[in-house]
Each structure stands twice: as C-alpha cells, then as structure tokens.
A = this chain, B = another copy of it.
Amino acid sequence: MYRTHNCGELRIENIGETVTLSGWVQKSRNKGFMVFTDLRDRYGVTQLLFTEEKTEEELLKLAGTLGREYVIKVTGTVTERSAKNSKMSTGDIEIEVTELVVLNESKTPPFKIEDETDGGDELRMKYRYLDIRRNPVQQNLIFRSNLAIETRKYLANQNFIEVETPVLIKSTPEGARDFVVPSRMNPGQFYALPQSPQTFKQILMVAGMDRYFQIVKCFRDEDLRADRQPEFTQIDCEMAFVTQEEILNTFEGLTKHLFKQTLGVELPDFPRMSYDEAMRRYGSDKPDVRFGMEFVELNDVAKGGDFPVFNSAELVVGINAEGQADAFSNKDIKKLTEWLQRPQVGAKGLVYVKCNADGTFKSSVGKFYDDATLQTWADKFGAKAGDMMLVLSGETDKVRKQLNELRLEMGRRMDLMKPDDFKPLWVVDFPLLEWDEDSNRFHAMHHPFTAPKKEDEEKMLNGDHETMKSLRADAYDMVINGSEIGGGSIRIHDRALQARNFKLLGFTDEEAEDQFGFLMGAFEYGAPPHGGLAFGFDRLCAVLKGQTSIRDFIAFPKNNQGRDMMIDAPSHIDDTQLKELNLDVTVEPTES
C-alpha cells in the first residue's frame, strides 16, 4: 500500500497516528541535522520532518538527497507543529518520518512547479504533465470536471437523456471546414468529424427522445485565432414540444444552478434584449452589460451643421466616458484615435467633447459646433462636468462595430469589467439570414435548420434583398460579460419550410437532398416541434472563473498551428497506411 492518507487530510485530531503518505517533493530544506520536506499531491501539502535525534542516520542522509519533484513514500508519526501554518489545511501537524522510499527520481523541471511559474507558453505545453502539476491548472481541470457533473445533475433531473451521437459522420460543405477521415473499407470515401451534433439531435427529437443532451467534442478545421481550438466541447441540448420561452427558462435555470453550485453565486433573472436593441445600444450581439456607457445616437443634433463628416454619415453615435475628461490628454486621445484607426477596428476618426467644469466644452469639433449645440449633445448623453463624450460616424453597421470596440476598450481602461461581477442576458430575435460579401449570397445567421418567426414564413417567398435582411428567426444567444456562452433556436420541423430555407441559402434541390435528405425525410414521418441550444463548455468554464483564455481549461490544448506540442502531432504516417487508404500526398511533407 502506498498511502493511508493523502497529503491534504491530516489534522490535529490525527496526532499520534502512524501514517503512510506518497507524493512529490515540493521542496526540501536540508539543515544537516534536520531536513524539512514539503510533500505534495492533488489534495494538499504535508510537512515531513527528519531530525538527527529521532531519525536513523541512513534515513536522514537519504532525506538530504531528495530533489524537487522526486516521488517518495514515507511512513511516520503525526505530531503537532511547534510553528503552525494557518495558510495550509495541514498546517497544524507534521510527520516525523521513520521510513522513506524513493519511488522515482526526477530531473530538474524546466520551469517552477508553483502557482506563478517562470515557464513560457511553449515550454509549458511541451511539458504539459509538469504544468498540470501546478495548482492553478490542476484546479481549473477539477473545476471543469465539477461543472460537467453539475450540468449532468441538473439536466438529468429535468428528464434529459444523454445520448452519444457518432463522431464519424458525413462531410457537408455548409458552414466551417470539416476535418475528414478517409475510409479504408469504402475506398475514395471520407467520414467527417462533427462540427456539432446538430442534425443528430434533431433526429433524436423526431425519434421521440423528447429531451436530449450531450457533453460532446466538436471539430472545426478553421484557421486558428488566439483562443480557438480545432477540437472543443459543447453542452449540446434539444427539446421537443417546446416554445422558445420554455427553452430560455430551462437553460437560464441550468446556468443559475451552475453558478450557485460551483461559485455560490445567485444570479438574478436574465434580462432579454432583441438583437436590434443590442446592436443599437451596444453595437454588439454579445454586449457586456457589467457597465453602462450605452450608445447615444446624435443624428438629429449633429447633422445639418458645418461639419461635413457628420453631415455625410449615415449614423453619428457616441458614448459618454464618465469622469474621463481630465484622464485623457491630447496625446492620449491621439493614441486612442490611432488605436481606432487600426485595420482591426477601422474607424476613420474620433471626435471627443470634454465637459468643462464651467459649463463650456472642449472638443475636436469645437469650431463646427457652438457650446449651445454641444450642450444638446451633453443632454442626450446625460454628460456632466468632467465627462468626455466620444463620437464616431459612418455607415450604421460599421460605426456600431467600431464604437463597440471603443466602448469595451474604455470599459477596460476605466476598470469597469470586474471578473467576479456576472451580468447575464438573453439576446433574442436574431436575423434569419446574413449577407456575406465574399460569396455574394445570404448565409444562415445561426444555421440552416433555424426556424423563421411564424409571421415571417410567408415573406421568405418574396425574396428581395431588404425583405431577406428583415427576416427574423426564433434564435437566441446567452451572453455573460460580453461572451456568447450559448446559442440556439427553434428548428424547422416541416419538410416544405426546410426546403424553402435551403433554397434561400442557395442550395439546389439536389445538394439539399444529398446532404440533408435524411433529415428532410425524417420530417415526413411525424417530426415534432423542437428546439434547443448549445453551450461552449470551454468558454463557460473560463467565464465562470473570470478568465479570458479557454486554453487553461483544456488538459491538452493545441497551439495556433493546430499542433499538440507534447506528443508532437500531427505527424507523418507510413506509406503502407496511405496505400491502404488509397491516398497520395501531393506535397513534400513539412518537417514536424
């Protein structure tokens, strides 16, 4: 037996007991006549004591040789510490060791196994097994495990059944790029890895499973931006005989349960905001509502004057940065303007109006507008002395996106985004379609299975551009602190309506049949009304813990080139393997 107790559980009540512990040497202080060793495992740290008086000479000598991260097993007596450590759960006791076995030695780790490490990202990923020994990473993984447990507990109590859907499925060109898997048994054919179990969960509703969920891996072969992974995990859910309202209530309930059980946080009821309203007030379909600084539209007071830029703009819109007038020098504003003009944001310029203490204004457009006019602006913003209004202009959609970036940046600078302040909301009534400039056609904003609002079904037959843009769907996102953590919709369950939607999206009948014939076929055999949603599980973990990177909640993440640095994958495969799969590689393989 390697242990009678773990390294986190011995207390003052255990004094006098003979115990055996195993773990890693966190650190060892050798004072010659005495060795203190901190022994660590997942559960905690226990102090070991070897002393000249009580320890055999051989043992004391061996104890002196223990290096960092050695794996040892000790037997000894629990004794009371003279100098207690109230920061450690085992801080009242130590172990007077009588037996010591070195189970495994360790080379010196390439970085410190401590809460704050000196290891860079690449090193940590290569030696992920050492990185995970660090408490923050280990606690993140444990948190993730608990979050999954609580998710399953809640959903099972609500009659949801977890059903495993297949991983080897069929490639569909719609949406993001699929990872594909060549089939040896079906030469020249390929499976695809699922981007989500969407069609399968709908099939399960047609199959009468009524309430389905799955915590499931999904895959997208996209160019990886920071904090995107080629494989990621969803809490995937679907319900039959259900209205949007019931879905929102069910998953609002789940989210409240998760916050309560894992953080002890009681969330209030989630406000609901239409997509249009979110865009108007925040310029984003995932507004961070931890702080105000809402958009104020100025067309009526800013246009028709002497400033040609505003006069020619479709929309003049701004935010009020409270108390920031003095915080921003001309140089700061210039820098902020340059930040806004980067291609990532793309604003043309920035107009500021500072509210002076004496009721006058200092503004970059002071020569175009008199103080009386600027006062009408300030009235709209509710701006008072010391505030600074920041105004952008341009095409409506673009300027809103730019102002959203500016608002978030100001929120960060003004420290308005507290990681432990949680402000969830539902964004609802999303457009059914969005225009894609690149392909010059409409795409499904959510996905092609999303139902249009009942009153918009007929309009789908009309088909002019503006009507198409105006179509609304029973689609919704759950947003917390500016992150979209879940989204879903009521689905189409009628074959004819689904066919109509595919047509809008530019599918030929043949393509629709080839790719989704099984689903449209299923709709002919008594498909119930249904809908659902999916949470991004990695993101959910990060948001709950107030962190921005999902990578720290994934045991073995991939880097931005899609590589696993630890196992060094992907890699070359044997020619015999390629031959069995009837494949030729058309490039010289890159060095891995």
A103 touches B529 (CB 8 A): yes
8 contacts between A and B (CB under 8 A): A138-B207, A168-B219, A168-B558, A169-B564, A170-B570, A190-B570, A518-B568, A584-B584
Q: How far is the CA of A518 from the CA of B125 in the complex (A)?
A: 12
Contacts of A152 in B (CB 8 A): 149, 152
Q: How far is the CA of A566 from the CA of B520 in the complex (A)?
A: 12
- A-B pairs with lowest CB-CB distance, top 8: A188-B589, A106-B526, A132-B207, A170-B569, A2-B241, A189-B570, A69-B526, A584-B584
B167 touches A231 (CB 8 A): yes
Q: How far is the CA of A484 from the CA of B282 in the complex (A)?
A: 59
A577 within 8 A of B: yes
Q: A167-B219, A200-B556 are in contact. List 14 more A-B contacts (CB 8 A).
A: A2-B529, A3-B241, A71-B527, A130-B525, A165-B555, A166-B564, A169-B569, A170-B564, A177-B184, A180-B573, A188-B588, A189-B592, A199-B567, A203-B566
Query: In chain A, residues 515-564, which have Cβ atoms closer than 8 Å to a Cβ of chain B?
Result: 517-518, 522-529, 554-556, 558, 561-564
B165 touches A556 (CB 8 A): yes
**This protein's copies in its complex:** 2
A522 to chain B minimum Cβ distance, whole angstroms, is 5
B191 touches A570 (CB 8 A): yes
Among B71, B173, B522, B590, the residue within 8 A (CB) of A528 is: B71
A562 touches B185 (CB 8 A): yes
Q: How far is the CA of A231 from the CA of B165 in the complex (A)?
A: 10
Given the known interface contacts A187-B590, A200-B556, the answer about A246 and B166 at a Cβ–Cβ threshold of 8 Å is no
Most buried by B among A165, A203, A556: A556
Q: How far is the CA of A143 from the CA of B221 in the complex (A)?
A: 35
Q: How far is the CA of A23 from the CA of B205 in the complex (A)?
A: 11
A168 touches B230 (CB 8 A): yes
A273 within 8 A of B: no
Q: How far is the CA of A42 from the CA of B580 in the complex (A)?
A: 44
Chain A binding surface SS class? loop
At the interface with chain B, which of A92-100, A156-164, A338-346, A502-510? A156-164
How many interface residues does chain A have, given as a range? 35 or more
Residues of A within 8 A of B (CB): 1-3, 6, 22-24, 40-43, 69-71, 73, 103-107, 109, 127-133, 138, 141-142, 144-145, 148-149, 152, 156, 161-171, 173, 177-193, 199-200, 203-204, 206-210, 217, 219, 221, 223-224, 230-231, 233, 241-243, 246, 493-494, 517-518, 522-529, 554-556, 558, 561-564, 566-574, 577, 580-590, 592
A161 touches B179 (CB 8 A): no
Closest chain B residue to A224 by CB distance? B185
Q: How far is the CA of A92 from the CA of B456 in the complex (A)?
A: 44
Contacts of A128 in B (CB 8 A): 203, 207
Given the known interface contacts A133-B207, A208-B24, the answer about A231 and B570 at a Cβ–Cβ threshold of 8 Å is no
Contacts of A207 in B (CB 8 A): 128-133, 138
B526 touches A71 (CB 8 A): yes
Q: How far is the CA of A45 from the CA of B360 in the complex (A)?
A: 76
Q: How far is the CA of A427 from the CA of B524 in the complex (A)?
A: 51
A439 to chain B minimum Cβ distance, whole angstroms, is 13
B43 touches A573 (CB 8 A): no
A451 to chain B minimum Cβ distance, whole angstroms, is 13
A445 to chain B minimum Cβ distance, whole angstroms, is 24
A209 touches B138 (CB 8 A): yes
Contacts of A22 in B (CB 8 A): 241, 528
Closest chain B residue to A42 by CB distance? B210
A212 to chain B minimum Cβ distance, whole angstroms, is 9
A515 to chain B minimum Cβ distance, whole angstroms, is 9
Closest chain B residue to A241 by CB distance? B2
Contacts of A177 in B (CB 8 A): 184, 577, 580
